Amino acid sequence: MTPNIFSESRQQDSVFRNKFRLMPEFVPDELPCRDNEIGQLVENLRILLDPDQSVAVNIAITGPPGVGKTTMTKKTLNDLKSAAISNKINLDTFYVNCHSFRTKTSILRRLATDKFHIQGRGFSDEELIEMVATRLSKENLRMVLAIDEASILSGKDILSFIHLNELFQTGEGRLSTMIICRRSEWSLMLSASLSGRIHDQLNLDGYTREQLEIILNYRKQLAFYADVISDKVMDLIVDICTKTRNARHGIEMMLRSGMKANAVKASVVTPELIREVKNEVYPELRSDVFEDLKTNELLTGLSVGRLLSKPGVVSTTVTDIYNRYKLVCEEYHEKIHSMSTFRIHLTTLEKLGIVSHSVGSLDEGTRGRRSKISLYDIPAIILVERIENVLKSKNQK
Ligand SMILES: Nc1ncnc2c1ncn2[C@@H]1O[C@H](COP(=O)(O)OP(=O)(O)O)[C@@H](O)[C@H]1O
Ligand SMILES: [Mg+2]
Protein backbone atom coordinates (compact mmCIF):
# COMPACT_ATOMS: atom_id res chain seq x y z
CA MET A 1 0.00 0.00 0.00
CA THR A 2 1.29 3.47 -0.78
CA PRO A 3 1.82 5.45 2.40
CA ASN A 4 -0.35 8.45 2.93
CA ILE A 5 1.67 11.43 1.77
CA PHE A 6 0.79 13.40 4.89
CA SER A 7 1.54 10.71 7.44
CA GLU A 8 5.18 9.93 6.96
CA SER A 9 6.91 12.56 4.94
CA ARG A 10 8.43 15.07 7.23
CA GLN A 11 6.70 18.37 6.82
CA GLN A 12 9.21 20.87 5.66
CA ASP A 13 10.35 23.34 8.28
CA SER A 14 8.63 21.63 11.18
CA VAL A 15 9.95 19.61 14.08
CA PHE A 16 6.40 18.47 14.84
CA ARG A 17 4.84 15.27 13.61
CA ASN A 18 1.60 16.58 15.12
CA LYS A 19 1.57 19.77 17.14
CA PHE A 20 -2.09 19.36 18.18
CA ARG A 21 -1.04 16.43 20.36
CA LEU A 22 0.56 18.91 22.76
CA MET A 23 -2.48 21.16 22.97
CA PRO A 24 -4.70 21.26 26.07
CA GLU A 25 -7.77 19.91 24.19
CA PHE A 26 -6.02 16.75 23.03
CA VAL A 27 -6.94 13.55 24.91
CA PRO A 28 -4.23 10.91 24.43
CA ASP A 29 -5.16 7.23 24.08
CA GLU A 30 -3.11 6.36 27.12
CA LEU A 31 -2.61 8.01 30.48
CA PRO A 32 0.51 6.43 31.88
CA CYS A 33 0.89 6.56 35.69
CA ARG A 34 -2.84 6.98 36.27
CA ASP A 35 -3.83 3.29 36.11
CA ASN A 36 -4.88 3.14 39.75
CA GLU A 37 -7.03 6.24 39.55
CA ILE A 38 -8.65 5.12 36.31
CA GLY A 39 -9.30 1.74 37.92
CA GLN A 40 -10.97 3.47 40.84
CA LEU A 41 -13.18 5.50 38.51
CA VAL A 42 -14.15 2.38 36.59
CA GLU A 43 -15.09 0.63 39.85
CA ASN A 44 -17.34 3.53 40.78
CA LEU A 45 -18.96 4.01 37.39
CA ARG A 46 -19.35 0.39 36.31
CA ILE A 47 -22.78 0.24 37.91
CA LEU A 48 -24.03 2.66 35.26
CA LEU A 49 -23.54 -0.09 32.69
CA ASP A 50 -25.77 -2.51 34.58
CA PRO A 51 -29.15 -2.77 32.83
CA ASP A 52 -30.88 -3.83 36.05
CA GLN A 53 -29.80 -0.85 38.11
CA SER A 54 -30.83 2.75 37.89
CA VAL A 55 -28.70 4.73 40.29
CA ALA A 56 -26.72 7.95 40.26
CA VAL A 57 -23.06 8.09 41.24
CA ASN A 58 -21.31 11.28 42.39
CA ILE A 59 -17.54 11.45 42.37
CA ALA A 60 -15.15 14.24 43.26
CA ILE A 61 -11.72 14.47 41.62
CA THR A 62 -9.31 16.85 43.28
CA GLY A 63 -5.66 17.74 42.96
CA PRO A 64 -3.18 20.46 42.03
CA PRO A 65 -2.93 21.76 38.44
CA GLY A 66 -1.45 19.65 35.67
CA VAL A 67 -1.94 16.21 37.22
CA GLY A 68 -4.37 14.90 34.62
CA LYS A 69 -7.74 15.62 36.26
CA THR A 70 -9.37 17.02 33.13
CA THR A 71 -7.78 14.57 30.73
CA MET A 72 -8.61 11.57 32.88
CA THR A 73 -12.21 12.73 33.17
CA LYS A 74 -12.58 13.22 29.42
CA LYS A 75 -11.05 9.86 28.66
CA THR A 76 -13.31 8.15 31.21
CA LEU A 77 -16.40 9.79 29.71
CA ASN A 78 -15.40 8.72 26.19
CA ASP A 79 -14.76 5.13 27.22
CA LEU A 80 -17.89 4.94 29.35
CA LYS A 81 -19.98 6.10 26.44
CA SER A 82 -18.52 3.56 24.03
CA ALA A 83 -18.94 0.79 26.60
CA ALA A 84 -22.58 1.81 27.02
CA ILE A 85 -23.11 1.61 23.27
CA SER A 86 -21.61 -1.91 23.18
CA ASN A 87 -23.76 -2.95 26.15
CA LYS A 88 -26.88 -1.36 24.65
CA ILE A 89 -27.32 0.96 27.62
CA ASN A 90 -28.86 4.30 26.91
CA LEU A 91 -26.21 6.53 28.44
CA ASP A 92 -24.89 9.93 27.50
CA THR A 93 -22.18 12.19 28.93
CA PHE A 94 -21.80 15.92 29.20
CA TYR A 95 -18.59 17.77 30.06
CA VAL A 96 -18.55 21.43 31.05
CA ASN A 97 -15.70 23.61 32.14
CA CYS A 98 -16.82 26.37 34.47
CA HIS A 99 -14.23 28.68 32.92
CA SER A 100 -16.61 28.85 29.98
CA PHE A 101 -19.92 28.27 31.77
CA ARG A 102 -19.68 30.08 35.01
CA THR A 103 -23.14 29.75 36.53
CA LYS A 104 -25.55 26.97 37.33
CA THR A 105 -28.05 28.58 34.95
CA SER A 106 -25.65 28.63 32.01
CA ILE A 107 -24.71 24.98 32.57
CA LEU A 108 -28.34 23.94 32.79
CA ARG A 109 -29.20 25.83 29.63
CA ARG A 110 -26.34 24.33 27.72
CA LEU A 111 -27.24 20.83 28.89
CA ALA A 112 -30.90 21.35 27.94
CA THR A 113 -30.03 22.73 24.50
CA ASP A 114 -27.22 20.36 23.57
CA LYS A 115 -28.73 17.14 24.79
CA PHE A 116 -32.47 17.70 24.56
CA HIS A 117 -32.86 20.58 22.10
CA ILE A 118 -34.77 22.54 24.71
CA GLN A 119 -34.31 26.28 24.26
CA GLY A 120 -33.22 27.19 27.78
CA ARG A 121 -33.93 30.90 27.71
CA GLY A 122 -37.08 32.07 29.43
CA PHE A 123 -37.19 29.20 31.92
CA SER A 124 -36.19 29.33 35.56
CA ASP A 125 -33.53 26.94 36.86
CA GLU A 126 -36.21 24.88 38.61
CA GLU A 127 -38.23 24.56 35.42
CA LEU A 128 -35.15 23.53 33.46
CA ILE A 129 -34.21 20.92 36.05
CA GLU A 130 -37.71 19.50 35.84
CA MET A 131 -37.67 19.44 32.05
CA VAL A 132 -34.30 17.69 31.98
CA ALA A 133 -35.50 15.15 34.56
CA THR A 134 -38.67 14.46 32.58
CA ARG A 135 -36.68 13.84 29.42
CA LEU A 136 -34.19 11.55 31.20
CA SER A 137 -37.12 9.54 32.51
CA LYS A 138 -39.08 9.46 29.27
CA GLU A 139 -36.08 8.45 27.19
CA ASN A 140 -34.88 6.02 29.85
CA LEU A 141 -31.53 7.79 29.68
CA ARG A 142 -28.60 7.86 32.10
CA MET A 143 -26.51 11.00 32.04
CA VAL A 144 -23.06 11.65 33.46
CA LEU A 145 -22.38 15.34 33.98
CA ALA A 146 -18.73 16.31 34.51
CA ILE A 147 -18.26 19.76 36.01
CA ASP A 148 -14.64 20.87 35.66
CA GLU A 149 -13.10 23.79 37.59
CA ALA A 150 -16.19 23.44 39.73
CA SER A 151 -15.04 25.87 42.41
CA ILE A 152 -16.36 28.69 40.26
CA LEU A 153 -19.79 27.45 41.35
CA SER A 154 -20.92 27.18 44.95
CA GLY A 155 -21.44 23.94 46.83
CA LYS A 156 -25.14 24.74 46.75
CA ASP A 157 -25.15 24.93 42.95
CA ILE A 158 -23.45 21.56 42.72
CA LEU A 159 -26.00 20.10 45.09
CA SER A 160 -28.85 21.29 42.94
CA PHE A 161 -27.59 19.10 40.05
CA ILE A 162 -27.34 16.14 42.40
CA HIS A 163 -30.80 16.86 43.80
CA LEU A 164 -32.33 16.52 40.35
CA ASN A 165 -32.51 12.80 41.11
CA GLU A 166 -35.07 13.48 43.80
CA LEU A 167 -37.62 14.12 41.10
CA PHE A 168 -37.58 10.41 40.28
CA GLN A 169 -39.08 7.57 42.26
CA THR A 170 -37.33 6.84 45.52
CA GLY A 171 -34.00 5.22 45.05
CA GLU A 172 -33.93 5.82 41.31
CA GLY A 173 -31.15 7.97 39.89
CA ARG A 174 -30.38 9.11 36.36
CA LEU A 175 -27.99 12.03 36.61
CA SER A 176 -24.50 11.14 37.86
CA THR A 177 -21.85 13.76 38.46
CA MET A 178 -18.07 14.06 38.35
CA ILE A 179 -16.90 17.19 40.12
CA ILE A 180 -13.38 18.33 39.40
CA CYS A 181 -11.43 21.02 41.23
CA ARG A 182 -8.33 21.80 43.29
CA ARG A 183 -8.26 20.13 46.66
CA SER A 184 -8.21 23.27 48.78
CA GLU A 185 -11.14 24.68 46.84
CA TRP A 186 -13.03 21.46 47.25
CA SER A 187 -12.70 21.66 51.03
CA LEU A 188 -14.04 25.20 50.90
CA MET A 189 -17.04 24.11 48.86
CA LEU A 190 -17.78 21.07 50.90
CA SER A 191 -20.74 21.17 53.26
CA ALA A 192 -22.19 18.33 55.29
CA SER A 193 -25.04 18.00 52.81
CA LEU A 194 -22.71 17.87 49.82
CA SER A 195 -20.21 15.45 51.31
CA GLY A 196 -23.10 13.16 52.25
CA ARG A 197 -23.93 12.83 48.56
CA ILE A 198 -20.40 12.11 47.29
CA HIS A 199 -19.75 8.39 46.88
CA ASP A 200 -16.03 8.57 46.33
CA GLN A 201 -13.30 11.15 46.17
CA LEU A 202 -10.11 10.72 44.17
CA ASN A 203 -7.20 12.85 45.30
CA LEU A 204 -4.55 13.10 42.62
CA ASP A 205 -1.06 14.04 43.69
CA GLY A 206 1.59 15.93 41.76
CA TYR A 207 3.75 13.68 39.58
CA THR A 208 7.16 12.43 40.67
CA ARG A 209 10.25 12.78 38.50
CA GLU A 210 9.99 9.18 37.33
CA GLN A 211 6.35 9.62 36.39
CA LEU A 212 7.02 12.85 34.51
CA GLU A 213 9.77 11.13 32.59
CA ILE A 214 7.40 8.40 31.41
CA ILE A 215 4.54 10.79 30.61
CA LEU A 216 6.63 13.37 28.78
CA ASN A 217 8.48 10.77 26.73
CA TYR A 218 5.15 9.33 25.65
CA ARG A 219 3.87 12.78 24.64
CA LYS A 220 7.15 13.56 22.91
CA GLN A 221 6.89 10.59 20.58
CA LEU A 222 3.28 11.46 19.77
CA ALA A 223 4.10 15.03 18.84
CA PHE A 224 7.67 15.22 17.51
CA TYR A 225 9.65 13.52 14.83
CA ALA A 226 12.29 11.15 16.16
CA ASP A 227 15.59 12.76 17.23
CA VAL A 228 14.15 16.27 17.61
CA ILE A 229 14.39 16.16 21.40
CA SER A 230 17.41 14.21 22.65
CA ASP A 231 17.46 12.32 25.95
CA LYS A 232 19.71 15.00 27.37
CA VAL A 233 17.27 17.76 26.51
CA MET A 234 14.42 15.63 27.82
CA ASP A 235 16.26 15.34 31.15
CA LEU A 236 16.41 19.10 31.33
CA ILE A 237 12.66 19.43 30.72
CA VAL A 238 11.86 16.77 33.29
CA ASP A 239 14.13 18.45 35.84
CA ILE A 240 12.36 21.76 35.42
CA CYS A 241 8.84 20.46 35.78
CA THR A 242 9.74 18.15 38.65
CA LYS A 243 9.76 21.36 40.68
CA THR A 244 6.06 21.97 39.93
CA ARG A 245 5.16 18.23 39.62
CA ASN A 246 2.94 19.38 36.80
CA ALA A 247 2.75 17.54 33.46
CA ARG A 248 1.26 20.56 31.72
CA HIS A 249 4.41 22.48 32.59
CA GLY A 250 6.55 19.98 30.68
CA ILE A 251 4.15 19.68 27.76
CA GLU A 252 3.93 23.44 27.38
CA MET A 253 7.72 23.72 27.39
CA MET A 254 7.93 21.08 24.67
CA LEU A 255 5.33 22.91 22.59
CA ARG A 256 6.95 26.31 22.95
CA SER A 257 10.47 25.09 22.35
CA GLY A 258 9.30 23.23 19.24
CA MET A 259 7.67 26.38 17.95
CA LYS A 260 10.83 28.36 18.59
CA ALA A 261 12.90 25.73 16.79
CA ASN A 262 10.55 26.07 13.82
CA ALA A 263 10.80 29.84 13.90
CA VAL A 264 14.57 29.72 13.52
CA LYS A 265 14.36 26.77 11.12
CA ALA A 266 16.31 24.51 13.48
CA SER A 267 15.81 20.78 13.14
CA VAL A 268 16.31 19.96 16.82
CA VAL A 269 15.34 21.44 20.17
CA THR A 270 18.51 22.59 21.91
CA PRO A 271 19.14 23.03 25.66
CA GLU A 272 19.36 26.78 24.98
CA LEU A 273 15.81 26.79 23.65
CA ILE A 274 14.59 25.02 26.77
CA ARG A 275 16.33 27.55 28.99
CA GLU A 276 14.69 30.29 26.99
CA VAL A 277 11.15 28.92 27.26
CA LYS A 278 11.65 27.98 30.88
CA ASN A 279 11.22 31.61 31.80
CA GLU A 280 8.15 32.02 29.68
CA VAL A 281 6.11 29.03 30.64
CA TYR A 282 3.83 29.27 33.60
CA PRO A 283 1.49 26.33 33.77
CA GLU A 284 -0.96 28.24 35.96
CA LEU A 285 -1.50 30.64 33.09
CA ARG A 286 -2.86 28.21 30.57
CA SER A 287 -3.71 29.56 27.19
CA ASP A 288 -7.12 27.90 27.32
CA VAL A 289 -8.08 29.99 30.34
CA PHE A 290 -7.51 33.17 28.37
CA GLU A 291 -9.24 31.94 25.24
CA ASP A 292 -12.46 31.66 27.23
CA LEU A 293 -12.32 35.13 28.75
CA LYS A 294 -14.39 38.00 27.37
CA THR A 295 -12.56 41.01 25.95
CA ASN A 296 -13.33 43.26 28.91
CA GLU A 297 -12.09 40.62 31.34
CA LEU A 298 -8.87 40.38 29.36
CA LEU A 299 -8.51 44.15 29.46
CA THR A 300 -8.99 44.08 33.22
CA GLY A 301 -6.22 41.48 33.51
CA LEU A 302 -4.04 43.52 31.21
CA SER A 303 -4.50 46.60 33.42
CA VAL A 304 -3.48 44.64 36.52
CA GLY A 305 -0.46 43.26 34.68
CA ARG A 306 0.65 46.61 33.36
CA LEU A 307 0.37 48.29 36.75
CA LEU A 308 2.24 45.53 38.51
CA SER A 309 5.00 45.28 35.93
CA LYS A 310 6.36 48.63 37.06
CA PRO A 311 9.57 47.98 39.01
CA GLY A 312 9.03 47.73 42.72
CA VAL A 313 5.23 47.57 42.59
CA VAL A 314 3.94 44.42 44.26
CA SER A 315 0.32 45.26 44.83
CA THR A 316 -2.19 47.84 43.78
CA THR A 317 -5.73 48.97 44.53
CA VAL A 318 -9.05 48.58 42.76
CA THR A 319 -9.25 52.30 42.04
CA ASP A 320 -5.79 52.40 40.47
CA ILE A 321 -6.57 49.42 38.28
CA TYR A 322 -9.88 50.91 37.23
CA ASN A 323 -8.12 54.10 36.14
CA ARG A 324 -5.62 52.09 34.16
CA TYR A 325 -8.42 49.94 32.75
CA LYS A 326 -10.11 53.04 31.30
CA LEU A 327 -6.92 53.90 29.39
CA VAL A 328 -6.54 50.34 28.19
CA CYS A 329 -10.14 50.32 26.92
CA GLU A 330 -9.42 53.45 24.91
CA GLU A 331 -6.29 51.86 23.47
CA TYR A 332 -8.29 48.81 22.33
CA HIS A 333 -11.38 50.83 21.31
CA GLU A 334 -13.58 48.96 23.75
CA LYS A 335 -16.51 50.30 25.72
CA ILE A 336 -15.56 51.18 29.31
CA HIS A 337 -17.61 49.19 31.79
CA SER A 338 -18.89 50.76 35.00
CA MET A 339 -16.94 50.34 38.24
CA SER A 340 -19.40 47.72 39.48
CA THR A 341 -19.12 45.62 36.31
CA PHE A 342 -15.36 46.06 36.40
CA ARG A 343 -15.35 44.65 39.94
CA ILE A 344 -17.14 41.57 38.63
CA HIS A 345 -14.40 41.12 36.00
CA LEU A 346 -11.82 41.37 38.74
CA THR A 347 -13.65 38.74 40.79
CA THR A 348 -13.68 36.44 37.77
CA LEU A 349 -9.91 36.76 37.41
CA GLU A 350 -9.60 36.09 41.10
CA LYS A 351 -11.69 32.92 40.90
CA LEU A 352 -9.53 31.71 38.03
CA GLY A 353 -6.49 32.03 40.27
CA ILE A 354 -4.90 34.81 38.22
CA VAL A 355 -5.13 37.77 40.57
CA SER A 356 -5.22 37.68 44.32
CA HIS A 357 -7.38 40.02 46.28
CA SER A 358 -6.73 40.48 49.94
CA VAL A 359 -8.50 42.80 52.31
CA GLY A 360 -5.96 44.44 54.55
CA SER A 361 -6.50 45.57 58.09
CA LEU A 362 -7.77 49.04 58.83
CA ASP A 363 -5.08 51.45 57.79
CA GLU A 364 -4.54 54.27 60.19
CA GLY A 365 -5.42 57.61 58.79
CA THR A 366 -7.38 56.21 55.86
CA ARG A 367 -11.02 55.43 55.73
CA GLY A 368 -12.25 51.87 55.54
CA ARG A 369 -10.44 48.71 54.69
CA ARG A 370 -8.04 48.69 51.83
CA SER A 371 -8.18 45.83 49.45
CA LYS A 372 -4.96 44.94 47.77
CA ILE A 373 -4.71 43.36 44.37
CA SER A 374 -1.66 41.36 43.39
CA LEU A 375 -0.74 38.36 41.26
CA TYR A 376 -0.33 34.76 42.37
CA ASP A 377 3.16 33.58 41.67
CA ILE A 378 3.06 34.80 38.07
CA PRO A 379 5.35 37.55 36.79
CA ALA A 380 3.30 40.54 35.64
CA ILE A 381 5.27 40.76 32.39
CA ILE A 382 4.25 37.23 31.48
CA LEU A 383 0.60 38.05 32.20
CA VAL A 384 0.79 41.13 30.01
CA GLU A 385 2.47 39.26 27.18
CA ARG A 386 -0.03 36.41 27.19
CA ILE A 387 -3.08 38.64 27.32
CA GLU A 388 -1.75 40.87 24.55
CA ASN A 389 -1.26 37.79 22.40
CA VAL A 390 -4.80 36.57 22.98
CA LEU A 391 -6.19 40.03 22.20
CA LYS A 392 -4.13 40.14 19.04
CA SER A 393 -5.42 36.79 17.84
CA LYS A 394 -8.99 37.76 18.78
CA ASN A 395 -8.64 40.88 16.65
CA GLN A 396 -7.40 38.85 13.71
CA LYS A 397 -10.41 36.52 13.78
N1 LIG B 1 -0.76 10.57 32.91
C2 LIG B 1 -0.68 11.37 31.83
N3 LIG B 1 -0.30 10.87 30.65
C4 LIG B 1 -0.21 11.67 29.56
N5 LIG B 1 -0.49 12.97 29.56
C6 LIG B 1 -0.89 13.52 30.73
C7 LIG B 1 -1.01 12.75 31.92
N8 LIG B 1 -1.41 13.56 32.92
C9 LIG B 1 -1.54 14.77 32.40
N10 LIG B 1 -1.24 14.76 31.08
C11 LIG B 1 -1.25 15.92 30.19
O12 LIG B 1 -0.83 17.04 30.95
C13 LIG B 1 -1.61 18.19 30.65
C14 LIG B 1 -2.32 18.63 31.90
O15 LIG B 1 -3.31 17.67 32.26
P16 LIG B 1 -4.78 18.11 32.70
O17 LIG B 1 -5.66 16.93 32.63
O18 LIG B 1 -5.20 19.31 31.94
O19 LIG B 1 -4.49 18.52 34.22
P20 LIG B 1 -5.43 19.15 35.32
O21 LIG B 1 -6.84 19.10 34.80
O22 LIG B 1 -5.20 18.29 36.51
O23 LIG B 1 -4.93 20.54 35.53
C24 LIG B 1 -2.56 17.78 29.54
O25 LIG B 1 -1.96 18.13 28.31
C26 LIG B 1 -2.64 16.28 29.68
O27 LIG B 1 -2.91 15.66 28.44
MG1 LIG C 1 -8.09 20.72 34.40
Predicted confidence (pLDDT) at residue 367 exceeds the cutoff of 60: no
| Number of domains the chain is built from | 3
Instruction: Pick the ligand that lies closest to the CA of residue 72.
Output: 1
> What domain range includes position 367?
293-389
Q: Tell which of 203, 236, 266 closes a domain.
A: 203
Average pLDDT, the chain: 90
Average pLDDT over residues 15-36: 96
Q: Which atom of ligand 1 is nearest to the CA of 72?
A: 17
Q: Is the CB of 69 under 6 A from ligand 1?
A: yes
- Determine, yes or no, domain membership for 27: no
pTM of the model: 0.80
Tell me if 28 sits within 8 A of 21, measured CB to CB: yes
H-only helix segments in 224-286: 231-242, 247-263, 271-278
Alpha-carbon gap, residue 174 to 140, rounded angstroms: 8
Do residue 254 and residue 177 come from a single domain? no
Do residue 74 and residue 171 come from a single domain? yes
- Determine, yes or no, domain membership for 13: no
Q: Which residues does 189 contact at the CB level (< 8 Å), separation at least 6?
A: 150, 151, 154, 155, 158, 181
Do residue 215 and residue 163 come from a single domain? no
For a mutational test of ligand 1's pocket, the pick from 185, 248, 281, 282, i.e. the residue with the most ligand atoms closer than 8 A to its C-beta, is 248
pLDDT digits over 173-219, tens only?
Answer: 999 999 999 887 788 788 889 999 999 999 999 999 999 999 999 99
Alpha-carbon gap, residue 195 to 273, rounded angstroms: 47
- Determine, yes or no, domain membership for 256: yes
- Determine, yes or no, domain membership for 273: yes
Q: Which atom of ligand 1 is nearest to the CA of 27?
A: 27
Q: How far is the CA of 352 from the centre of ligand 2 (A)?
A: 12
- Determine, yes or no, domain membership for 133: yes
Q: Is the CB of 64 under 6 A from ligand 1?
A: no
Alpha-carbon gap, residue 165 to 174, rounded angstroms: 6
Do residue 82 and residue 190 come from a single domain? yes
Q: What percentage of the chain carries pLDDT values higher than 90?
A: 69
Do residue 311 and residue 361 come from a single domain? yes
Q: Is the CB of 353 under 6 A from ligand 1?
A: no
Q: Tell which of 203, 229, 244 closes a domain.
A: 203
Ramachandran region, residue 35 (left: φ > 0; alpha: ψ -120 to 50; beta: rest): alpha
Q: Tell which of 156, 171, 203 closes a domain.
A: 203
